[in-house]
Structure 1
Amino acid sequence: MTEEPAKLPRLTLARQIRDSLVASIVSGHFGPGERLVETRLAATYGTSQAPVREALRELEAMRLVETQPRRGTFVRPFVQETLRESYVVRAALEETATRLALLAGTVPVEAMRADVEAMRAAAESGDGEASARASVSFHRRVVEAAHNDLLKLTWEGLQIEARTSVTMVATEVDLHDIVRDHADLLAALEGGDLEAACRHARDHQWHYADLPHDAHGRTRDSAAG
């Protein structure tokens, strides 16, 4: 007798639905102002409304959709701009966290090295979710090492874990590139050059803002050259 496969936990299913909706919104399949109906989405995904509702709640926290009383949930305009804005703010926060942690000598290098190895293992197995978790852990360690509660609260308020997953879905980023980028960032932290490490921390996030210019005012084309 063939054993029935275990059902996915609701949170995992909600996350899968969230990522699928993100891909549909970013690709334009669901356009600005389009209504997302729970019952229809539940039917599409072959599930109950509970995980769909959970997924929509996460998207609303990330400002990708908005819920209007007695009307429903709608895709927000300017979704790409919302993602860009979050990375510009995050760049400033992580540059400051890097400066504070380096000045205090509290950067947890060994733990961050383990995070990079976790990203490497995730890249080898093609596990995007594990890569995202390790990336968030890496950056959270720097923020916590800054020992500034308001900075940490603001950083967490950006819904970092969810936005990291969104970026990976939206940009189809290469998991091996994630390993390389974080290894370079860790090397900058270990190098001990305060200004270089802070600049690297800022540029690492600014890259994902996908603006026509970098943090130094150079156009993307000239910055790449």
Structure 2
Amino acid sequence: MTPDEPAAPPAPAVTPLVTRLTLARQIRESLVVRIVSGEIQPGERLVETRIAAMYGTSQAPVREALRELEAMRMVETRPRRGTFVRHFVQQTLRESYVVRAALEETATRLAMLAGTMPLPALRAEVKAMRAAARAGDAAAAARASVAFHRHIVDAAHNELLKLSWEALQIEARTSVTMVAAEVKLKDIARDHAELLRSIEDGELETACKHARDHQWHYADLPHDAHGRARRQVS
């Protein structure tokens, strides 16, 4: 730089925003677990100041977390009254998996037809899920599961599909499912390994069916994606 050249502007400070968003996500995940487990009951009011005090933070990340929960339809904001836990959390969870099944079936089809399926990345995520299962690390298993499916959605190269998929708040709903359905970590690894094998085999319709059924399983409906009645376990 010569004496006549202006100094480069300083890089923007991003740490506070990143920290706030990370904290908001942590609060959101914690609230999701508490709602699904029944610790926070349907109809209960969520008070920003109390939650902020509980987590030792300001109200900004709490407000962000509550906005995300509202987008997931787990809570509702009533004018001049506050934010309350919705009564039909399980219903919205089922609905989200039906929609996700359709999106991921389409993403699988597009990626396989285009030859863009990132097999090494998928194998790495299955390996990570197996390691998480051995370590009993539910958070790591959830991260690897979400990453596995995001690789497929990204490989479809369809921005509208990707935006629709992201709008389902996949990370949070995965946490909800793991609590609500008491999913075993070894089963998560096994199910994804089976899905990966169907993709590796290259049979388009089989892989697409597996991608759809993989999500529909968690919809917890009395019938499967093909209209067959599910056997009820007493």
TM-score between both structures, scaled by the size of structure 1: 0.86
| Structure 1 residue 16, shift from structure 2 partner | 4.4
| Structure 1 residue 203, shift from structure 2 partner | 0.3
Change in CA separation of 1:98 and 1:119 when aligned onto 2, cut-off 3 Å:
same
Deviations 1:63-117 (A, max 9, x none): 1001223211011121100000000000000001111111111111111101111
CA distance in 2, matches of 1:156, 1:14: 17
Letter in 1 for 2:88: F
Aligned length: 214
Deviations 1:98-148 (A, max 9, x none): 111111111111111011111111111122111111111111111111111
Matched, 1:128 2:148: no
**Which shifted more, 29-38 or 202-211?**
29-38
Residue 56 of structure 2 aligns with which residue?
47
Residue 3 of structure 1 aligns with which residue?
none
Residue 199 of structure 1 aligns with which residue?
209
Change in CA separation of 1:42 and 1:101 when aligned onto 2, cut-off 3 Å:
same
RMSD between superposed Cα atoms in Å: 2.0
Larger radius of gyration: 2
Matched, 1:152 2:171: no
Residue 185 of structure 2 aligns with which residue?
175
Answer whether contact 1:38 1:49 (CA < 8 A) is retained: no
Q: What SS is found at the alignment partner of 1:221? A: coil
Matched, 1:219 2:195: no
Residue 72 of structure 2 aligns with which residue?
62
**Which shifted more, 67-76 or 94-103?**
67-76
Letter in 1 for 2:186: H
| Structure 1 residue 221, shift from structure 2 partner | 0.7
Matched, 1:190 2:203: no
Matched, 1:109 2:119: yes
TM-score between both structures, scaled by the size of structure 2: 0.83
Matched, 1:79 2:92: no
Gaps of 5+ in 2: 1-18
Identity fraction in percent: 75
Q: What SS is found at the alignment partner of 2:231? A: helix
